[in-house]
């Protein structure tokens, strides 16, 4: 019998990019899963209990925690650098409310273990991100609002350990996550879903912000979900990076997308637009020490995500009120 067999587990944000594969894996391990989300119930796994709730309201958080053994808190706000710059309150306020309400509700409900999903945005610009360096610095200006909101969740977890000895509370910091079920909103998508949507939809020339030189650490959603399950099972309470530890330039990424196109678009680099920090890589020493290694290569993951988008393009465009080509 495995660790997750017959466990009652709450996954907030269980219909999202990481939540979907996580719920699937937990059910395969014999867990009884409850999903809490504001999303459409039709997007939830059909073997999971679904609660359509607003987690900015504390009582809703208490209600969904009742009877749970474990909580994976994934719910959050995902958006592009453009959104972070123009609508920072749309990141900051809901994130603070989700995090504060859910952790307090889980503590009051006697939940045995809790996983808090942080972000690469908590780090200050650096060549490589080491977990223990976070509190020596400030988040990047490019991630200021989301980064500080997530830092407050990490600090909340630390305060609970000190005052209540409650936990263990696990903290994971995923790198740039991508995969099927990503946010393909044309106004608010991150770099991979934005490139895939525009390329598959026939944009030509394909315009890309910056000069293609920034280096990023990308990780597939299934690998993040596996990492989360490993961290929770081991009861690891040190913050853990979940990335690939490998750097790819935005130019590398664009070339991978174009490689999977039948008709190759012209690439135009818009150097008048911001490109973000020059390099963001995760140190994976701590994750490796507990047995985590990513399995999905970026090239494989890009191909899979493009195929998924092609097969779901019509539904996705309806979701974001976009006319499909």
Domains, the chain? 8-179+218-245+280-296 (3.40.50.720)
Could you give the CA distance from residue 105 to residue 306 in angstroms, rounded to a whole number?
A: 38
Backbone angles phi, psi at 92, to 5 degrees: -65, -50
Q: How many CB atoms lie within 10 A of CB 55?
A: 24
CA 173-178-180 angle, 5° bins: 135
Q: Please give the pLDDT value at position 85.
A: 75
Q: Does residue 93 register a pLDDT over 90?
A: yes
Provide the pLDDT for residue 79.
Answer: 63
Lowest mean pLDDT among 131-140, 160-169, 173-182, 272-281: 272-281
Task: Output the six-digit token pair for 62.
Answer: 């208490």
Q: Determine the Cα–Cα distance for residues 187 and 313; give it in Å rounded to an integer.
A: 16
Residue 160 has pLDDT above 90, yes or no: yes
Looking at residue 269, its pLDDT comes to 93
Give the residue-averaged pLDDT of 305-323: 82
Which residues, 6+ apart, have CB-to-CB distance to 168 below 8 Å? 113, 114, 235, 236, 237
In this predicted structure, what is the pLDDT of residue 161?
Answer: 92
pLDDT at residue 99 is higher than 60: yes
pLDDT exceeds 80 at position 88: yes
- Quote the CA–CA distance of 27 and 324 in Å, as a whole number: 34
Report the pLDDT value the prediction gives residue 275, as an integer from 0 to 100: 72
Q: Which residue has the higher pLDDT, 14 or 85?
A: 14
pLDDT of residue 77: 79
């Amino acid at each position: 019998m495995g660790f997750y067999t017959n466990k009652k587990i709450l996954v907030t944000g269980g219909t999202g990019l990481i939540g979907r594969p996580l719920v699937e894996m937990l059910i395969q391990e014999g867990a009884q899963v409850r999903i809490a989300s504001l999303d459409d119930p039709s997007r939830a796994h059909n073997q999971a209990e679904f609660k359509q709730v607003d987690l900015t309201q504390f009582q809703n958080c208490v209600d969904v925690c009742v009877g749970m053994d474990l909580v994976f808190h994934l719910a959050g706000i995902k958006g592009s650098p453009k959104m972070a710059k123009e609508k920072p309150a749309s990141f900051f306020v809901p994130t603070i409310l989700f995090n504060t309400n859910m952790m307090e509700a889980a503590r009051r409900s006697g939940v045995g273990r809790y996983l808090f999903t942080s972000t690469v945005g908590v780090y200050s610009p650096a060549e490589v991100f080491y977990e223990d360096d976070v509190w020596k610095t400030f988040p990047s200006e490019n991630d200021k609002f989301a980064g500080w909101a997530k830092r407050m969740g990490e600090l909340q977890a630390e305060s609970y350990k000190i005052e209540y000895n409650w936990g263990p509370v696990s903290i994971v910091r995923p790198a740039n996550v991508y995969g099927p079920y990503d946010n393909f909103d044309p106004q608010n998508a991150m770099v991979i879903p934005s490139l895939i949507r525009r390329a598959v939809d026939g944009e030509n020339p394909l315009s890309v912000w910056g000069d293609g030189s920034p280096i990023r650490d990308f990780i597939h959603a299934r690998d993040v979900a596996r990492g989360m399950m490993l961290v929770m099972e081991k009861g690891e309470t040190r913050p853990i990076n979940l990335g690939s530890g490998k750097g790819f330039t935005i130019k590398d990424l664009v070339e991978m997308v174009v490689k999977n196109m039948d008709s190759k678009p012209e690439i135009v680099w818009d150097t008048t637009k911001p490109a973000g920090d020059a390099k963001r890589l995760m140190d994976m020493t701590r994750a490796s020490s507990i047995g985590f290694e990513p399995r999905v290569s970026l090239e494989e993951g890009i191909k899979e995500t493009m195929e998924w988008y092609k097969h779901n393009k019509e539904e996705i465009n309806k979701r974001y009120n976009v006319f499909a080509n």
